Amino acid sequence: MKKQLLITLLAGLTVATQAAPLAPAQQQAQAANLSAQILTRHHYRAVPLDDAMSQKIFDRYLKMLDPEHVFFLQTDLAQFASLRSRLDDAIFQEDLRVPFDIFNLYQQRVTERLGYARELLKQDFDFSQNETYQYQRDKEPWPASQEDMRDLWRKRVKSDWLRLKLAGKDDNFIRSTLDKRYASNIARVEKYKADDVFQVFMDSYATSIEPHTDYMSPTASADFDIAMSLSLVGIGAVLQEREEYTTIRDLVPGGPAALSSKLKVGDRIVAVGQGAEGAMTDIVGWRVNDVVGLIRGAKDTTVRLDVLPSDAGPDAKTRRIALVRNKISLERQAAKKSVIQVKEGQAVRQVGVITLPMFYQDIEARRRGDKEFKSAARDVARLLDELKKEKIDSVLIDLRNNGGGSLDEAIELTSIFTGVGPVLQERNSRGDIKVDSAKAPRAVWNGTMGVLINRGSASASEIFAAAIQDYGRGVVIGEPSFGKGTVQTVINLDQMARNEKPQFGELKMTIAQFFRINGGTTQLRGVVPDIKFPTVSDTEQFGESSYDNALPWTQIKPAGYTPLGDLSRLLPVLESRHANRIAKDKDFQYLLEDLRDVQAQRSKRQLSLNEAERRRERELREARLKQREEGKDSDAASKGGKAGHQAAARKIVPQDAGLQAGERSLSEELADEKAQKEAKDVWLDEAARIVGDTAALLKTQSKLAARNSASGSSSGIAETGRR
C-alpha cells in the first residue's frame, strides 16, 4: 500500500471530535514498528504482519473499543471497511493515524450516546409494557440505524432506572444518580490520552497473535514491576476517584501516610507539589493513575499534598501536608496463613491454610544480589514453619484467583512439598524440550496436603497444581483451572532501541509452551481437580477456551520422575464423603441454589423491563433469603449465648441497590467489603474438610500397611509425601 493512498483514506474518515483529537507520537510509531519486528520473528507462534493479520487486528481493536456493540453504527463500520487491511502498512510505515482516527470517532460516539441517555432522563418511562433489554450484546450485530441505536439506549436507560426503582429509590434520586453516572462516563472517555489509545491498539495487535502476548506502556511496565515485587516507593495510600476527587480509600500500615497521622480514609487530595517548594498542581478531575504518577517518586524525596478533609464541604479550607516517600511493602497481597479446625466425630484436625494471591518475586532485587529479595516460595516456607509450631495435621494451599507470576517461584514452591525432581517441561518454537527441576535438597512439608483452585487459577498456579497432582503428592480440589499453558518473557523495547529514557515500553511475549511432567499440558483444558466443585465462572467469557485463537491442547513424552504417593484409591471415598456432607450443609445448598439462578440468568442474556414481572422475581429472591436467615437465626438461637443474640440482630439486606462503584458512600463500600471478607467461605471450609478426610484415610491406610507388612503383605498405598 503506497503512503499517498493511506493518507487519502485517512482524509476520507469522518472524525467529529474536532475540539482536541488525539494523535500518535513519533516514539509510539517507532515502538509499534520495533514490536512488529520482534513479534514476527521471535514469537512462539510467529506469524507475518500482512493484510490478513491486519484484518484480525482491526476486528479486535473494534471489539476492545466497543465490546457490547452499543456505540458504533453499521454505517461507521462501512466507513472503516477500506481500512481493515491497512493496519500492517500503518505499523511498518510508522504512521498510526488510522487507529487514532478510529478512536477519535469512538470517543465522539460515546459522547453522543451518553448525551442522548442524559436527555432521556428528562422523560418518564412506562414500566407496564412487556419489553426486554438485551444486556449482553457481544454476539449481536451493531445497530443498523440511528433509530435502532436510540431504541437500544432507551431500553438501556430504562433498565438502569428500573434497577434503582426496584431498590426503593424515588424519581429525583434516580434522575440525579443516573445523570451523574452518564456524565462521569463521558468525562472518563474525554480524559483518554494518546498513550491509552496506543496501548489499546498494540494490545489488539499482540493478542491477535495469541491471547497472552501483551504490550505494556512505560506506565504499565512500572505497574507490572510493582505487582511482581510487592513493593513501590510512595506514601502508602490507596486512592480512588469519587466525583472528580482523588479520595483516600485506605492507608498501608507502616507507610509514610499512615505513620504521619495526618491523613485518614475519605480525605480528598486536590493538589500535589514536588519537593519542599515545587509548584502545586491542581489535580481535581484527574484520573487516579495520573495522580499516582505525581505522588510516586524516588525514595527519601518529599511530596506535598493539599488535602480537603473528609467531613468538609467543597469550599472548605484545605490542609497542606508534606510527606517523605519511602519503600512500601504490599504485604496485603503476600502469602497469608490461617488454621481451620475440622471435626471428625470426637477428633478435631487442624488444617493449616496458606492463601497465595500470586507468584511474586522482586526480580530487580534478585539481580542485584539481595539475598532477602521478596519471594512467594520463601514466604510460604516461612509460614509452613510457623504452622508446624501450631501443630497442624495437614496443609491446604489456596490458589483461587491466582493468575500466575514467576515461573521460578512456581518451581520453588513445588519443591517445598516434593523436594528434588522435575516440575514441568518447556517446548520452544523450534520444538526443543527442556525439563525444569526443583533443586531443594529436601521438602519443607512431608505431611498431607491439598490444593484449592478455581477458574481464575492460571499459569504458575496450574504448574504447581499439576505437579502436585502428577506426583500424587496431594489432592487437588475445586473448579477446572483457567487453561493457560504458555510461558512469557518480558522484552524491554527501550533497551533494544538503546533509548536513554523509557519511551517505548515493553512486550510480554509468549516464547514457549509448558507441559506437565506426565506429558500432558494445562493448555486449553486446565488442571482437572481430583474432587470437583460446581463451576461458578462463565466459561464462555472467562478462561483459555473463551479465546478464539488459543493454542490447542497437545502432549509430549513424560519426564523421568517417580511419584511420591498414590491417592487414586482414596478418591472414591473422598468423593463420597464430600457428596454426603454437602447434601446436609445448608450453606452449601444455598450456594448451589444461587449458582443455578445465576446460570439461568446468564443463558437469557436479557432482562424484562416490566416492573410487575421484575418485582415478582425480586420478591421471590428476597423471600428465599429471608427464609434462609430465619433458618440461621433459629439454629443460632437454639445454641443460645452470643451467637443467638447476633443472629437476632441481623437484618435482611436488599439484593440489588442498583448502584455502581463510587455511587454509594465510602463508608458503606468499606463496610460491605469488610462483611464480604468476614463472610463464611463455603468453598474453603469444604476443601479443608476434604484435606482432613485425606489425612485421616492416609493415617488409617498407613497403620493397615504396617500390619500387613508385618504379616508379609502390603496394601500398596503409601502415605503422601513419604520419601
State the Cα–Cα distance between residues 138 and 381, nearest whole angstrom: 45
C-alpha triplet 529, 531, 534: angle, nearest 5°? 85
User: 184 CB contacts (<8 Å, ≥6 apart)?
Assistant: 243
State the Cα–Cα distance between residues 421 and 404, nearest whole angstrom: 21
The count of residues in the chain is: 723
Cα 634 to chain center, whole Å?
Answer: 38
Q: Are 567 and 530 in contact (CB under 8 A)?
A: yes
* Distance, first Cα to last Cα, the chain: 66
Sign of CA dihedral 688, 691, 693, 696: negative
State the Cα–Cα distance between residues 208 and 549, nearest whole angstrom: 7
Residue 470 falls in the annotated catalytic set: yes
Compute CA distances 111 → 105, 144, 339, whole Å: 10, 19, 52
State the Cα–Cα distance between residues 578 and 689, nearest whole angstrom: 8
What is the CB neighbour count within 10 angstroms for residue 511?
16
Strands 448-453 and 394-398: parallel
Q: Are 78 and 145 in contact (CB under 8 A)?
A: no
Strands 280-282 and 302-308: unpaired
- Secondary structure letter of residue 70 according to DSSP: -
3-class SS shares of the chain: helix, strand, coil, % to 5: 45, 15, 35
Choose, from 267, 362, 470, 494, the residue flagged as catalytic.
470
Choose, from 35, 459, 481, 608, the residue flagged as catalytic.
459
Helix, strand, or coil (residue 694):
helix
State the Cα–Cα distance between residues 424 and 436, nearest whole angstrom: 5
State the Cα–Cα distance between residues 246 and 629, nearest whole angstrom: 38
Choose, from 398, 484, 494, 693, the residue flagged as catalytic.
484
Cα 583 to chain center, whole Å?
Answer: 31
User: 35 CB contacts (<8 Å, ≥6 apart)?
Assistant: 202, 205, 206, 215, 493, 507
- Secondary structure letter of residue 533 according to DSSP: P
Residue 459 falls in the annotated catalytic set: yes
What is the CB neighbour count within 10 angstroms for residue 502?
16
State the Cα–Cα distance between residues 22 and 98, nearest whole angstrom: 11
Grid cell for residue 17: 471530535
Residue 699 falls in the annotated catalytic set: no
Amino acid in position 204: S
Nearest to 87 by CA among 102, 72, 70: 102
The enclosing H or E element of 431 equals: none
The enclosing H or E element of 448 equals: strand 448-453
Grid cell for residue 62: 473494534
User: 488 CB contacts (<8 Å, ≥6 apart)?
Assistant: 212, 213, 508, 509, 510, 511
Residue reference for cell 434503582: 164
- Please list the active-site residues: 459, 470, 484
